[in-house]
């Protein structure tokens, strides 16, 4: 089975566990507390990343247009929406994108677009001053991942 088909299947059957493999994130275990813990990890990852960028590049980082490649259920899209004027979440799985849409709606997040990924990134428009992809490329065969990564680099804005 291709990785694309595998991720679609995970998105349909157990999307939170597919992102973070802990039993409390299994569909049968999901409740308000486990979902809160799941999304808290995304907030932590985003805060750590933004803080590290500020250490390296200065405190005046302003995010206007952010891309989360491999956004899954929106675990990082939601906290990124607080730092950025607009966030684009991109994923190979329609089921994951549906879950991310639901999570954005439930959290009142309106500055997000969610789009289907392909290797050419054909649905992307414009450029991004911040591109993030967390726990994604290790699931993609190396040659394919390198090509996707090269394509992503082409969407980074000057000064991005």
pLDDT of residue 1: 47
Cα separation values, 32 from 60, 66, 110, 147, Å:
36, 28, 22, 39
**Kind plus residue range of the DSSP H or E element containing 65:** strand 63-69
Statement: residue 154 has pLDDT above 70:
yes
Instruction: Report d(CA 104, CA 32) in Å as an integer.
Output: 16
Torsion angles phi and psi, residue 101, rounded to 5: -60, -45
pLDDT of residue 86: 98
Least Cα distance to 71 among 84, 80, 62 occurs for: 80
The pLDDT tens digits of the residues spanning 84-96 come to 999 999 999 999 9
The pLDDT tens digits of the residues spanning 30-50 come to 999 999 999 999 999 999 999
What percent of the chain clears pLDDT 90, i.e. is strictly above it?
89
Query: Is residue 124 a contact partner of residue 90, using CB atoms and an 8 Å limit?
Result: yes
Q: Please tell me the pTM assigned to this model.
A: 0.94
Q: Six-digit token pair at 149? A: 């990564």
Chain mean position to CA 76? 5
Summarize the confidence of residues 84-111 as an average pLDDT: 97
The greatest distance separating any two alpha carbons of the chain, rounded to the nearest whole angstrom, comes to 45
């Amino acid at each position: 089975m291709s990785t694309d088909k595998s991720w679609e299947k995970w998105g349909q059957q157990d999307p939170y566990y597919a992102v973070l493999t802990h039993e409390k994130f299994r569909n049968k275990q999901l409740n308000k507390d486990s979902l809160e813990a799941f999304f808290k990890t995304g907030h932590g990852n985003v805060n750590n990343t933004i803080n590290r960028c500020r250490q390296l590049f200065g405190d005046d980082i302003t995010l206007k247009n952010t891309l989360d490649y491999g956004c899954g259920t929106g675990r990082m899209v939601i906290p990124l929406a607080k730092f950025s004027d607009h966030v684009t979440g991109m994923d190979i799985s329609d089921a994951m994108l549906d879950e991310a849409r639901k999570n954005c709606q439930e959290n009142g997040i309106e500055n997000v677009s969610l789009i289907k990924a392909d290797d050419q990134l054909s649905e992307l428009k414009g450029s991004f001053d911040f591109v993030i992809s967390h726990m994604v490329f290790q699931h993609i065969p190396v040659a394919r991942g390198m090509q996707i990564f090269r394509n992503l680099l082409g969407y980074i804005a000057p000064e991005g």
